[in-house]
Amino acid sequence: MKANVCGVKRMTGNAKSSGAAYDMCNIAVLVPVETVNNQKMQINGAGFSVMEIPLAPEALPAFMGQKYPVQMQLQTEVRPRAGKLETVVVGFEQLSKAA
């Protein structure tokens, strides 16, 4: 998947209410703003929005040395998570600096 990547982040800690541990790793990519006009909602705009995609924690170090934003060919895998299949970024091939 070709994407304009604007950053990566990993958050770990414990939930306030339950105390359960969490570990979330995501990559942020820029996607065009979509125009939506239907009976329930209207969205009008221009430019880009940020979309977060799950990132495999073991892939995070490879993304840390990049200068963002950057255009990448993201490598993905489908992995089971919480009883469902989830697409996860596992690596990349750098294409160029994002415009």
What digits encode the pLDDT tens for the residues 46-85? 999 999 999 999 999 999 989 999 999 999 999 998 899 9
**Residue whose structure tokens are 């091939």:** 93
Query: pLDDT value at position 48?
Result: 95
Structure tokens at 65: 């040395």
Handedness of CA 32, 37, 43, 47 (dihedral sign): positive
Is residue 94 pLDDT above 80, yes or no? no
Q: 3-class DSSP state for residue 69?
A: coil
What does the DSSP 8-state code read for residue 35?
A: P
How far apart, in whole angstroms, are the C-alpha atoms of residue 79 and residue 62?
20
CATH-assigned architecture of domain 2-12+20-97? Beta Barrel (2.40)
Tell me the per-residue pLDDT of 6-46, one tens digit each, with 9 for 90 and over: 999 999 999 999 999 999 999 999 999 999 999 999 999 99
The pLDDT, as a whole number, for residue 97 is 60
Write down the pLDDT at residue 95: 75
Specify the pairing of strand 70-81 against strand 48-54: unpaired
Task: State the Cα–Cα distance between residues 36 and 45, nearest whole angstrom.
Answer: 10
pTM above 0.95, yes or no: no
Query: What are the boundaries of each domain within the chain?
Result: 2-12+20-97
